[in-house]
Amino acid sequence: MPPIRLPVATVLALGFLPLLCGLVVPADAHLDPRSGLTPYQATYSVYLDGFGIGHSRITLQRKANGTWWCHSFSRPNGLFALFENVRLEETSRFRLRPDGRLEPLTYRLTEPGRSARHDQEVRFDWPKRTVYSRVGSKRKTFPLRPGMLDRLTAQIALSRDLVRTGKPPASFLVVNHNHVHHYVVTRKGQRAWRTPAGVFQTIEYVARTRKGALLIFWCAPALGEIPVVARDKRHHHPTITLRLLRFSSLPSRSPVRSRAQVLGKVTPF
């Protein structure tokens, strides 16, 4: 069967981005000592079956009240932008408990240029142990269990495990599209990757769902486990690949404004 060609809007909405949040980065980065997280911005190029379709940039910032804010914005470029006036914007707020556990608070996804029926919101009510999820006009609630995450905080939590223990968690739960998705993560082999940011020795990590979705991340120990290449492979869908273009750390607690020209990310969860 020939591969199915999806519109750019659908590709972006599939949810795909390397595990960038919360990683230990090179010595010139501004590491937040209390959290072990590093405020940063990172940019990736996005490829669909080998063809460049856009860029993604993600920002992680610590707020003055001690909570953390993760924001992404993505859109197609070149000829794809002429046919698909779509962007994907995501925002997540979370906090870190004294024991180091990450607790998501709110998550929002919007797709300017598309109908609001694609918008998503998730609210984690820890006192009531309830997750409130909405996609368009459809609403759902789930029992809130420790370790339950949203699309963005899943990446942060997974990254922190790689940095702290040297291995990914065996599995984790992610609330997305009014469902709770179970991911199993394994470590594979090693290889060198040549990217626009340079040549890196990497370790391969694979996240797999029971339905067969496959997410592959090649993380560079020399860059504090930042994935320099990531790939999304799903049945009857084109392959999406991201390659690192650049990474820069940010001062702790400095405000970051969302601007139309700032590109974002496509998350994997």
Lowest-confidence pick of 13-22, 60-69, 105-114: 13-22
pLDDT digits (tens, 9 = 90+) for 189-242: 999 998 888 888 988 988 888 887 788 888 887 776 778 888 888 878 888 888
Nearest-5° Cα angle at 40, 35 to 45: 135
Q: What number of other Cβ atoms are within 10 A of residue 193's Cβ? A: 17
CA distances (Å), origin 53, targets 9, 44, 46, 162, 186: 11, 11, 6, 30, 29
pTM of the prediction? Answer: 0.78
The single-letter DSSP state of residue 71 is: E
Question: What's the pLDDT score for residue 40?
Answer: 80
Position 26 confidence tier, pLDDT thresholds 50, 70, 90: very low
Question: What's the pLDDT score for residue 124?
Answer: 98
Mean pLDDT (the chain, rounded)? 77
240's tokens: 């999406």
Question: What's the pLDDT score for residue 15?
Answer: 45
pLDDT digits (tens, 9 = 90+) for 153-199: 887 877 777 777 788 888 888 899 999 988 888 999 999 998 888 88
Question: What's the pLDDT score for residue 224?
Answer: 65
Find, among 206, 207, 142, the residue nearest to 172 by Cα.
207
Interatomic CA distance for residues 19 and 9, integer angstroms = 22
